[in-house]
């Protein structure tokens, strides 16, 4: 059975974990690099996502890519997304929670907040 996005088991743990992780990532990033504007992270996110997409393209063409390389690129995307959200003041956990509710509402053909 598919987990329901309305279920607290679906949203709350992930959303809360992301919300808790963001300030940790902000501190870690601040200790490594000088401050950077959100635009930097938006561009970096494009680059990191492109690197992941390039590995997938190679897989699609039949080349062998070790799973660890895919995992590393995916982690780069997540780190950069968290950095972007921190730079923009976005609570990614809350944004995730809200967006899943919107998508689920569309899937069910209901307006958000309808029973």
Structure confidence by residue, pLDDT tens digits, 35-70: 999 999 999 999 999 999 999 999 999 999 999 999
pLDDT of residue 7: 60
CA distance 35 to 7: 38
pLDDT of residue 20: 93
CA distance 18 to 24: 10
What is 39-101's CATH topology? Helix Hairpins (1.10.287)
DSSP 113: T
Does residue 71 have a pLDDT over 90? yes
Per the prediction, the chain carries an average pLDDT of: 88
Does residue 3 have a pLDDT over 80? no
């Amino acid at each position: 059975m598919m987990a329901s996005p309305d279920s607290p088991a679906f949203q709350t743990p992930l959303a809360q974990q992301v919300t808790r992780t963001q300030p940790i990532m902000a501190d870690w990033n601040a200790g490594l690099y000088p401050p950077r504007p959100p635009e930097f992270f938006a561009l970096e996110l494009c680059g990191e996502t492109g690197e992941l997409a390039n590995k997938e393209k190679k897989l699609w063409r039949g080349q062998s890519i070790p799973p660890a390389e895919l995992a590393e690129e995916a982690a780069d995307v997540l780190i950069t997304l968290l950095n972007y959200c921190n730079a923009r003041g976005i609570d990614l956990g809350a944004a995730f929670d809200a967006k899943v509710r919107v998508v689920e509402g569309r899937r069910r053909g209901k307006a958000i907040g309808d029973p």
